[in-house]
Structures are given as C-alpha cells and as structure tokens.
Chains A and B, each alone.
Chain A
C-alpha cells in the first residue's frame, strides 16, 4: 500500500492572529509553526496502515524552505520519505495542482489530507486532487478501514454519518476520530535526519483567487453578569434584550 500524506505548515493553535497595519499580511513574527493538526491525524493513520512493512508513507508539502522543520517532524513521526514543492502555497487550487501533478504517475493507493488547514480553512484540497486525478474523494472523514483494494470510510453529515465504500485509489480528508496523533520517539527523531527529502520546483498554475485583506472580529462589549439566584433574569435578558429566545 502506497500512501501520500499532504501536510500544511500552520500557526500553532495557541497563536494570537495579527496582521500588518494595512491588514494585507499575516504577522508571522513570534509565531510557532506546526504540522496542521488534521494533517497529523492523516499522517498517524497512514503510518498505522503501512505498519509491519506492508506499505510506504510519503509526505508532501507545498512550501518554501522555512517549512522543512515541519516536514522533518513528519518524518520523525514515521513517514518514510518526503517531498517539498518549492513554492509559497498561495491558495488551495495552487496546492492541489502541485500535489496532483506530483502524484499522477506514482501509483499511490491512498492520498490523505487533513479535512482543512486551520489557517485558511478551505476544505478544498482533497476534492480538488480527486477531481484533478479523476478518482473518488471523501472530504470530511471520521473513520477509514482498508481491505484489499477497497476502502470503507465514515463521512460526517449534518446530524449523523454516512458509511461509504470506495475503490482505491481514493483521496480522503481526515477529521478527528480517524487516528490518535502520534508523537515522535527518539529513534524517529534520529532517523528523520537521514530520510530522503526531495525538493521539486512547482508547475505554473493560473491564479483564480487572492486574499486582498484581513479583518479581525469586532470586539464584544463587556459582559453583563446575572446573579446565580436569578436565572429568570437571564431568560428575560435573552428574550427581550438579546432577542435570541
């Protein structure tokens, strides 16, 4: 089983998000970058599917050289080798085109992405890759089982789940529940340094979208405290002032 895991380099979940004064650029100073948490789930699942020498796990990242520590961490967690497409990941379409271009002739049985990146929150890359390679994709998946050349996946839907069988190759966007994130051990950290990390130049892609400005949410007013002995007062406020019940 040959598995490709797509990883993004994103700000740590505890980061305070700020922008340049003209609101056009995300301030990266002082920000710690990590493997996108959903991608870490994808990677952990890929490693368990390939365990016991039954498969290989390649990680791919579209990013500039600064993302290499994140790629090395993926190798430390247990990926066999890595590929970096040497380009700024300007949008999901660009990223998906690069990954599909790399993957098209490599014979991967399974391509995993996190359901979304926690920075731009597009749930796009998995379905774009599926479309570009003309293979099935399932975007928000809570469970994956593989038997022979077939995958059984659980997709999240409003108020429940859908159980889908699909032939391989398949693209899956993983959410929580697919696997517990793995932590690198000392052997993994040592061996990560010597594992192959191939750098490939990007293909040209038409630009269809661009981010022109950022906004931060409007600050809320101060909290109105209600005494614990007066729950009916809270209900009254929610009814006649906030008008939400």
Chain B
C-alpha cells in the first residue's frame, strides 16, 4: 500500500504548488506509515522528476507519452486510476488547481472514492475514516468533511500547506497506461499564457485594485507595485464587470478565492462578497481614502489616503527596500 500523489507540471516544470502537494502527501504517508508514490504525466525531464525525492517521494512513476503530453482530464484520470490500483493506494492527493478540479472527480468516480476538494489542512485519520478541513461558503466558512469510503481522494488548495524538505533517494520508473478507451475525444487547439505574469490562484503576493482607481487607464500603478513585489494583479467584481480588467482577475465570492501571504487592496471598499474571497490571506493591507471602508475591519495594516498619492510612494519604498 502507498499514498499516491499526482504532480502537475507546467510545460515540463514543477511549480511551488507541485512541491506543496508532494509535501502534504508525504505528511499523510508518514501518518499512515506508508511510502509515497508520485505520478507525473507529460514530458518532464528525469532530473526534474528526481527533485520530488527531496520532498519525500519514495518513487516516481513517469508517464511520458506523446498522446498524454497535454492535459485531457478523461485520459489523465484513467492513467492515475490505473496507477492507484497498481500501487494499492488508499489515499490519492492532487492539487486543487484548474486542471486538478477537472480531474479529481473523475478519479474519485472511477475508484468509488469519496472526494474532499479545497482542503486546507492535514487530515485526521482513524481506521477507515478520514476527517479533513475544507474551504466552504466561498471563504466565509470552513467545513470538516468526513470520508467513509475505503479509498479517498483529496485536492489541496494552493498556499495552504508549506513545502517541507524530507530528502530521500527516489526511484524514477516509466509507467505505461494500458487502457485508455475513448479518452481522447477532446483536442487542445491552443494554449495561451501571458508571459512573465504571476498566476493569481497560487501567487504569494497579490495587489488588487477596485473602483477607487476610477478607470482602466490608471492600472499602471497597480502593475508597477505588483512588479516591484513579484506579485499577481487582481481586482474587485465591479472592475471586471465594467470590463476594466479581465474576469480571470476577479477575486471574491463569485470569482477566485485566494490565500496569499500578502494581499494589498487598493481602492476597494470591502463588500462582504469580496472579503469572502480574500479572508484566508495571511496578511491584508488596505489602502483607501475612506476611513469608514469596511475593508479596514479585516485588515492587518492600513493607510487612509488617496491611492493616486500613496501607491507610487509605496512602490518606491519597496524598490528601495529590495535594493537596500
């Protein structure tokens, strides 16, 4: 028996969220005294696969097959299910990423497993029962979910578990999936990624702008601050609804929920729907000229000022700090 973790790559590389799921799965494997098997699908070089040993993967199954070069949830689910059966895995861990969300239910259904997604903590395990905390009500609450099926699937939220090194000699071996019927109906025509842009759901720092910025032409100062911090940019719902920024940047109850180390809200009043999406940020900074803005009530640090005056100064202070 073992714990199985699916490690997502992006164009052949692992990002921090990949090491987070491996660390998380290793901590579970330690709890149940089982080895950890990682599975990677796509074209990832052997030396990159070996880095998974640094986080405790006892072995790595490498599925390097041209047909599976890009993500197809049906086919990936078939491969992971086959690996889970071979490894007699009773706990399967994935990232709750955009792809992971399309994949986890299929894997769970194939294995007759209970699924907990958006998990944010290590589970408690007692015999066949597993209890784990997950984000619910779009960030307004958490639920403790109990899985009672023999096999369990967990999908871990980004930025919820720290990367932990637990170096071990790992063995990388090829894994051939034998059975992929009807799994290639969908065809990826194109992948468009913004160059040099920090991905919002997994960003460690997020700089977010609201209606207080008055128009899309004023976003340069948000981008400059984000650049200085190596941060992702985000916005409130009225901003994306008005078309000032793309919907993909909308943070809040009906947009993306984020949990960065630092969330900087500029010119956002802090409606309950917005706060829901940012409440699990570790530190919140609010810049707003209205001292009564509800956002100050949930902020750790605040500046009551006009964003147009103070944001460029903060950017300069950040640059000075980084250079100093």
Contact = CB atoms under 8 A, between A and B. Distances in A.
A7 to B, nearest CB: 15
Interface stretch (B27-35, B50-58, B308-316): B308-316
B23 to A, nearest CB: 19
A65 to B, nearest CB: 24
Given A136-B186, A176-B240, A238-B301, A209 B191 contact: no
Given A123-B117, A124-B105, A208-B113, A164 B188 contact: yes
Contact of B145 (A118, A164, A212, A234): A212
Nearest to B250: A176
B125 interface: no
B255 A176 contact: yes
A158 B313 contact: no
A245 B144 CA distance: 32
Given A140-B102, A245-B321, A19 B314 contact: no
Contact of B282 (A127, A177, A244): A244
A83 interface: no
A214 interface: yes
Contacts of A152: 189
A238 B133 contact: no
B193 A159 contact: yes
Interface stretch (B39-47, B85-93, B272-280): B272-280
Interface stretch (B172-180, B195-203, B209-217): B195-203
B142 A215 contact: yes
A66 interface: no
A112 to B, nearest CB: 15
A202 interface: no
A127 B105 CA distance: 6
A118 B137 contact: yes
A214 B191 contact: no
B103 A224 contact: no
Interface stretch (B59-67, B160-168, B292-300): B292-300
Most chain-A Cβ atoms within 10 A of its Cβ — which of B15, B102, B106, B139? B102
Interface stretch (A9-17, A102-110, A184-192): A9-17
Contacts of B191: 157, 160-163
B300 A224 contact: yes
Contacts of B236: none
Given A121-B138, A209-B145, A164 B189 contact: yes
Contact of A175 (B145, B247, B313): B247
Nearest to A153: B186
Interface string A128-143: 1011101111111010
Interface string B245-289: 011101001110100011000000000110000011011111000
A234 B317 contact: yes
A158 B202 contact: yes
A210 B146 contact: yes
B170 interface: no
B303 A234 contact: yes
Interface string A224-245: 1111100110111111001011
A244 B283 contact: yes
Contacts of A16: 140, 272
B189 A163 contact: yes
A189 B285 CA distance: 45
Given A137-B73, A209-B147, A235 B199 contact: no
Contact of A176 (B70, B247, B300): B247
Most chain-B Cβ atoms within 10 A of its Cβ — which of A128, A162, A175? A162
A23 to B, nearest CB: 9
A167 interface: yes
Most chain-A Cβ atoms within 10 A of its Cβ — which of B197, B200, B310? B310
Interface string B1-22: 0000000001000010000000
Given A131-B105, A212-B131, A231 B316 contact: yes
B304 A164 contact: no
A158 B188 contact: no
Contacts of B69: none
Given A93-B115, A245-B205, 20 more contacts: A118-B138, A121-B136, A123-B102, A124-B104, A128-B109, A136-B186, A138-B102, A139-B102, A158-B202, A160-B192, A166-B185, A176-B255, A210-B146, A211-B143, A214-B136, A216-B142, A224-B300, A239-B321, A244-B205, A245-B229
Q: Which 3 A-B pairs have the closest CB atoms?
A: A208-B114, A228-B305, A160-B193
Interface of A: 11, 13-14, 16-17, 19, 37-38, 92-93, 96, 118-128, 130-132, 134-140, 142, 152, 155-167, 175-177, 206-217, 220-221, 223-228, 231-232, 234-239, 242, 244-245
22 contacts: A118-B254, A120-B143, A123-B101, A127-B106, A131-B110, A158-B199, A159-B199, A161-B248, A162-B71, A165-B187, A176-B240, A209-B116, A209-B148, A214-B142, A220-B284, A223-B286, A235-B317, A235-B321, A236-B321, A238-B262, A239-B321, A244-B261
